[in-house]
Amino acid sequence: MKKALAIMLTAAMGCGMLSGCSGGGSTGGGAVQQTTQAAQAAGDSGSSSGETSAAPAVDASMYEVTEPITIQWWHSIEDQNAQTVEDVVSAFNSSQDLITVEAVYVGSYGQVNEALVAAHAAGTGLPAVTVANTPYVAEYGAGGLTEDLTPYIQATGFDIDDFGKGLIDASSYEGKQVALPFLISTQVIYYNKDIADELGVTVPEKWDDMESFLEKVSVVNNGTVERYGTVVPGWDQWYFETFYLNKGVNIINDDRISTDLDSDAAVELVYQFKDWCDKGYMYWANGTDASSIMRQNFIDKKTFSVMHTSSLYNNYVDKCDFEVGMAWLPGGETKDQEIGGCVLLIPSKNDQATKNAAWQFLSYLCSKEVNMTWAKETGYIPTRNSVLQTEEGVKFLEEKPAFQCIFDNLDLINPRIQHPGWNQLATIWKNYMAEIMIEDVDIPSKIEDMVEEINEVLEDS
């Protein structure tokens, strides 16, 4: 007894001291760590991305990396693509001598957001480069969290015009280029092509044809659903927000302080969704495990189709023992869609040396070669016009014919709605939608409550 106590005490004290030391030593985050190795000649630093070349107008020397530096890159690329992350980062590290990049998996986009904002508020522990989900660009731009990349682009002659206009808009705030597009996806419907061929149906292009389509593909026997027509991911409003936009609903009105989600068109949509959910045509996926449940149901053929992000294409194809089809979402008056995925940005509170190194890595990640690596191995979309409109694009489509639907509609992929209160709005909206779809509630009064709450958030942001 006495011995045990003595051991525990000693161990505890020893460890306590240890922890003190290591705690002080590694202040974490994007702190710049100078390595003791001899500095490389400054001139070598520009060769990393293959796109940097001398540029006019801006003094390029201001943005050069002259000292060895270790920087952190925060990302949310999940486990199944860990190998690609490692390959891409180590290729960068070995391509030049000054910058060492550490890739850190932080968690989901939401968790990256939480960590980044917290670090920004503290002014310490910031990463040199981080991913950010597309809707956060406005919040970050408005809060001054991001570095304006325009001078870097000018100084290094980065070929920004090779991105489509939609992508450029999606990563800028009030005309400033505060980020660059990285892993870009859009909403699609994945469907079971084997069943579709058997039934002789195709995913409709028009919203008005949705009802008859769902009726054909779902199997409902005496009230028990054997196969759903489709699944809507209710955990993220991104998946259903295009249906509103294509019906002409302004999710945020031009006055920026109110929403149109109680307009006739919006309410009609809600009733339509509800009707289909009640009939067993549609399943509203909600809850902590909803994403994996939804995917598992598709794999097990318990649903004909699911609405999801194009980035998971390879994933679905690998796991399903039937042919997976991919289709553009049915449109209304328009058939626009929105950019999903993430952009890359440099937090503004980093020091200049870190920012310069960060920019080199960032421009490498956004380069055509790296982008094509992601496009081939996942379902993210090629972002470069020089790919999309050339032979390369044709070759890509030969490998992944399902992406034809995206290539056909590239011009229709629009930036997200940008508002500092967007995140709060989205939470309220998807909560009410899930409640309406899953529970038996008085729909008009719920919509009224929801709109009141959203308006209050918009005014206050």
Partner 1 sequence: MEQNTFLKPRTISAIKDFICVLPALVFLGIFTYYPICKLIQISFTDWNLLNDTWNYVGLKNWIWLFNGSGTKHLLNSLKVTVLYSIGELTITLLGGLAFALIFGRLNKTFSIMRAIVFMPKYVAMSSAAVVFLWILNTDTGILNYLLNCVGLPSVDWLGNRNTALLSVLMLTGWRAIGYGMMIYLSAMIGISKDYYEAASLDGATAVQSFFKITLPMLSPTTLFLFVTTFISSMKVFQSVDILTSGGPYRATEVFVYTIYKYAMEDFRMDRASVVAIAFFVLLLVVTASTFKISNSSVHYDS
Partner 2 sequence: MKGTNSSLERQLAAQRKKKIVTGVQYTLAIIVTLIVIFPLYWMISSSVKSQDEILLLKPTLWPHEIHLENYSNVFNRVNFGKYYYNTIVMTAGILGSQIITGVFAAYGFSKGKFKGQNACFIFVLGALMIPLQVTFIPIFIMCANWGMSDTFLGLILPECISPYYIFMLRQTFMAIDDSYIDAAKVDGLGRIGIITKILTPMCKSTLFTTTLVTFTNGWNSYFWPKIIAKNEQRRVLTVGLAQLKNTFAGQATMNNHEIMAGAVMAILPVVVMFFIFQKYMLTGYSKAAMK
Buried b (16+ CB within 10 A) or exposed e, 388-411: beeeebeebbeebebbebbbebbe
Task: Indicate the residue among 174 and 318 with the shorter CB distance to partner 2.
Answer: 318
Going by the DSSP 8-state scheme, the letter that residue 256 receives in this structure is S
Q: Which is nearer to partner 1, 289 or 351 (CB)?
A: 289
Long-range contacts of 364-368 (CB under 8 A, 24+ apart): 364/48, 364/49, 364/50, 364/92, 364/95, 365/88, 365/129, 365/182, 366/180, 366/181, 366/182, 367/49, 367/50, 367/51, 368/162
Q: How far is the CB of 223 from partner 1 (least distance, A)?
A: 11
Provide the pairing of β-strand 172-173 with 99-105.
unpaired
- Does the footprint of partner 2 cover residue 91 (CB under 8 A)? no
Residue 309: CB minimum distance to partner 2, A: 11
97 binds, among partner 2, partner 1, none (CB under 5 to 8 A by kind): none
244 scored as a contact of partner 2 (CB under 8 A): no
Binding window for partner 2 (CB under 8 A); candidates: 19-27, 181-189, 199-207, 406-414 = 19-27
Q: Which residues bind partner 1 (CB under 8 A)?
A: 110, 114, 117-118, 120-121, 139-140, 142-145, 286-289, 293, 296-297, 420, 423-424, 427, 431-432, 434-435, 438-439, 449, 452-453, 456, 461
| 224 lines the binding site for partner 2 (CB under 8 A) | no
The nearer residue to partner 2, 42 or 121, going by C-beta atoms, is: 121
DSSP SS3 for 448: helix
User: What six digits make up the tokens of 237?
Assistant: 């409003």
**Which helix (H) or strand (E) covers residue 180, if one does?**
strand 180-192
Amino acid of residue 166: G
Out of 46, 125, 143, 151, the only residue in the binding site for partner 2 (CB under 8 A) is 125
Which CB sits closer to partner 1, 163 or 173? 173
The single residue among 111, 212, 389, 390 that binds partner 2, judged by CB under 8 A, is 111
Identified binder of partner 2 from the candidate list 60, 89, 106, 188, rule CB under 8 A: 106
CA distances from 366 to 74, 146, 363 (A): 15, 17, 5
Instruction: Tell whether residue 374 is a contact of partner 2 (CB under 8 A).
Output: no
Which one among 7, 9, 42, 394 touches partner 2, defined by CB under 8 A?
9
Residues 77 and 106: their CA atoms lie apart, in Å, by: 9
CB-based contacts of 384, cutoff 8 Å, min separation 6: 162, 163, 368, 371
Output 349 or 384, the one with its CB closest to partner 2.
349
The correct pick among 7, 39, 122, 441 for binding partner 2 (CB under 8 A) is 122
Q: What residues from 282 to 311 belong to the interface with partner 2 (CB under 8 A)?
A: 288-289, 291-292, 295-296, 299
Contact region with partner 2 (CB under 8 A), list: 12-20, 158-166, 342-350, 442-450: 12-20
* Binding partner of 452, given partner 2, partner 1, none, CB within 5-8 angstroms per partner class: partner 1
Neighbours of 165 (CB within 10 A): 12
What is the spatial distance between Cα 392 and Cα 369, in angstroms, rounded to a whole number?
12
To partner 1, the closest distance from the beta carbon of 267 in angstroms equals 19
Q: Are 305 and 229 in contact (CB under 8 A)?
A: yes
Residues 6+ apart with CB under 8 A from 32: 69, 70, 71, 351, 353, 354
Q: Rounded distance, CA 461 to CA 272, Å?
A: 32
Nearest to 129 by CA among 73, 181, 75: 73
Q: Could you list the residues that contact partner 2 (CB under 8 A)? A: 1-2, 4-5, 8-9, 11-20, 22-24, 26-29, 74, 78-82, 104-108, 111, 114-115, 118-119, 121-125, 288-289, 291-292, 295-296, 299, 312, 315-316, 318-319
